[in-house]
Amino acid sequence: MSRIHLMDEILSNKIAAGEVVEKCVSVVKELVENSIDAKATNIKIELIESGTQEIKVVDNGIGMDKEDALLAFQRHATSKLRDEDDLYRIDTLGFRGEALPSIASVSMITIKTCSENLGTLVNIEGGKITEVGTCEARKGTTIEVKKLFYNTPARLKHLGSLNNELTNIIDYVNKIALSYPDIKFTLTNNGKIILNTPGDNNLLKVINAIYGTDVARNMLPLEASNDDYEISGYISKPIISRATRTHLITIVNGRVVKNNELNKTIIEAYHTYIMENRFPIVVLNITVDSSLIDVNIHPTKMDIKFSKMDGLKETIKNAVHNTLVSINLIQKVEHPKPEISMADIVISNNQIQQELNLERYEETIPFNDEFIVKEETNITYGNTNKEVETLEENESEKIPELYVAGVVFATYIVCQNNLGMYLIDQHAAKERINYELFLNKLSNPDNNSIDMLFPITIELPLNESIILKEHLHILANMNIKVEEFGMNSFVVKSHPVWLPKGNEENAIRRIIDLILDIKNDFSLEKFNDRVAATLACKASIKANDTLSLEEMENLIDDLRKCKNPYNCPHGRPTIIKFTKYEIEKMFKRVV
């Protein structure tokens, strides 16, 4: 008797559901993507108890006739692939034909759909069709998924809390709404509206609906292209940042994807503009011929492979960097205005806010009466002429003409002009100046060196001396002449003339420490950056150092010449502005 036999179809669908349907958000994702593939322009997602009791997706897409409605729940039944060649040019979000039968096998489903004049009703319980009939002839499809995992107790037990399930769904719907600003999305939970986008193809309006006005008005448009890729979207100014990478949203041909290499490229482009362990908000749309990517890697279809990846990363990095250097990023202190996004209005229950721990709730709504730092901006919603905020100035210079008025706490230089008052952190400003000077010298080495009157002797443990021997060429390229001096000793005989005067020995020792910390993935560019940042910090004037008026004026002039005069190498601001209007408002001269 044969031991091998074919699986029952319902059993195989339940097994497939383990990969396709993990949480409530998996169901929402698959149903919404089907609606998008069906050319819907209005998609409603209605949840009961965060989707654990019911998930209902209503669209106005092309719908299905009776035959297709029944066939759709057969495994590997799809309208999106015809032959093997189609697998290499996938232009739809779904294509595997696994989602609907997998969902149906672990839930109770009701589908109402219509493509012509007659609506079709299908009820399915645990993968078995229990009813087929007719319903109202409303163009589009409505799918209700109830009691998810009711017949698989082990998976039901491992669902997250209601708040966790809702958080995951909100995160997904936010991202898919950003991917398709031309589609109107409405998300509700227990009858409360959580997200409602306009669907008028204005990406900035969607950003505003999700993150609130404070974020929307600090977003910068971005466009770039090369021979293979077109890139567009919005990136946040450095002042808008988050503690996690989850707001680095990459969209490829309308599909939200996760790609560590692209995230790393975006973060590198923000280098020195944003503090370490803080991340910008980015919505990046990448358009590419479908033959240059492979989405058939994982059932979730969130990980894809790119052809010509190096060209894509270079284009993204240059686009982000060029956008940041092209605008005025002086931070401005102003009295906060109450700002509440749509999500904040509808999820008002304090317990839910606390448990969801959605970062935007605490970062976009100033609840106290303190003064907050913002960057100047002038963003409008496309052609609607509805300005988020009107500027009282339009500075073409990175830093305008400033007049030194004094210094406070022996640390902050006070300046003024007819537009307002400015505070400059003397250490951060000098650190930025030195950083760009040292980085330029390291990136463009010359032969200008100076012999040391008293050579420096450096003794190291055996393991570290071996590492240094392997990397002596790095020091030689920097015009630091180092020779072996015994078993584990080295002598430094000359150094480049640009090393900080009076602090040459400390600088050389710090450079050697960085060499000893070199990892396998060595990059000369990143190494030079670390050296420049380290030397700049130690060589700069400090807080409580007293400067003369002439020294303060020279510092400002040198800062003005920097490529990025707004941040120190570690991302801290160098200059903050108090507008004249805000100062007068504090003194009640204006209301």
Report the 3 state secondary structure along 165-192: HHHHHHHHHHHHHHHCCCCEEEEEECCE
Residue 109 and residue 22: Cα distance in Å, rounded?
A: 17
pLDDT of residue 570: 93
* Residue 2 counted as domain residue: no
H or E element that contains 207: helix 203-211
pLDDT of residue 560: 94
pLDDT of residue 149: 87
- Does 138 or 230 have the greater pLDDT score? 230
Instruction: Note whether 160 and 273 are same-domain residues.
Output: no
Residue 21 and residue 30: Cα distance in Å, rounded?
A: 9
Least confident of 55-69, 358-372, 432-446, 561-575: 358-372
Residue 182 and residue 41: Cα distance in Å, rounded?
A: 7
Q: What are phi and psi of 159, to 5 degrees?
A: -65, 150
Instruction: Note whether 56 and 99 are same-domain residues.
Output: yes
Mean pLDDT of 57-84: 74
* Domain encompassing residue 297: 203-391
pLDDT at 340 > cutoff 90: no
Q: Token digits for 153?
A: 């107790």
Please give the mean pLDDT across all residues of the chain. Answer: 83
pLDDT at 1 > cutoff 70: no
Instruction: Note whether 448 and 567 are same-domain residues.
Output: yes
Choose one of 144, 162, 196: the last residue of a domain. 196
Instruction: Note whether 427 and 368 are same-domain residues.
Output: no
Residue 10 and residue 19: Cα distance in Å, rounded?
A: 15
Mean pLDDT of 211-217: 93
CA 358, 364, 368 angle in degrees (round to 5)? Answer: 110
- Does 219 or 375 have the greater pLDDT score? 219
Q: How far apart are the first and last CA of the chain?
A: 91
Instruction: Note whether 182 and 252 are same-domain residues.
Output: no
Residue 302 and residue 552: Cα distance in Å, rounded?
A: 52
> 479 near 447, Cβ under 8 Å?
yes
pLDDT of residue 351: 39
pLDDT at 189 > cutoff 80: yes
- CATH code at 126? 3.30.565.10
- Does 12 or 180 have the greater pLDDT score? 180
Total structural domains in the chain? 3
> 259 near 311, Cβ under 8 Å?
no
pLDDT of residue 101: 84
Share of the chain above pLDDT 90, in %: 55
pLDDT at 478 > cutoff 50: yes
Instruction: Note whether 471 and 355 are same-domain residues.
Output: no
- Determine how many CB atoms are found less than 10 A away from the CB of residue 532: 22
pLDDT of residue 3: 56
Distance from the Cα of residue 270 to its chain's centroid: 11
Mean pLDDT of 102-128: 89
* Residue 162 counted as domain residue: yes
Instruction: Note whether 372 and 476 are same-domain residues.
Output: no
* Residue 1 counted as domain residue: no
pLDDT at 10 > cutoff 90: no
Instruction: Note whether 173 and 269 are same-domain residues.
Output: no
pLDDT of residue 297: 57
**350 falls in which pLDDT band (50, 70, 90)?**
very low
Residue 526 and residue 544: Cα distance in Å, rounded?
A: 32
- CATH code at 297? 3.30.230.10
Instruction: Note whether 446 and 326 are same-domain residues.
Output: no
Choose one of 145, 175, 196: the last residue of a domain. 196
- Does 102 or 417 have the greater pLDDT score? 417
Burial 129-152 (b: 16+ CB within 10 A, else e): eeeeeebeeeebbbbbbbbbbebb
Residue pLDDT, tens place only, 356-377: 444 433 333 333 334 445 554 4
Share of the chain above pLDDT 70, in %: 80
Residue of 278, 279, 304 lying closest to 291 (CA atoms): 304
Q: What are phi and psi of 120, to 5 degrees?
A: -120, 135
Residue of 278, 233, 224 lying closest to 256 (CA atoms): 233
H or E element that contains 42: strand 42-48
Burial 188-210 (b: 16+ CB within 10 A, else e): bbeeeebbbbebeebbbbbbbbb
Instruction: Note whether 294 and 167 are same-domain residues.
Output: no
Instruction: Note whether 366 and 226 are same-domain residues.
Output: yes
Residue pLDDT, tens place only, 294-329: 775 555 556 688 888 999 999 999 999 999 998 888
Instruction: Note whether 289 and 311 are same-domain residues.
Output: yes
Mean pLDDT of 27-32: 92
pLDDT of residue 366: 36
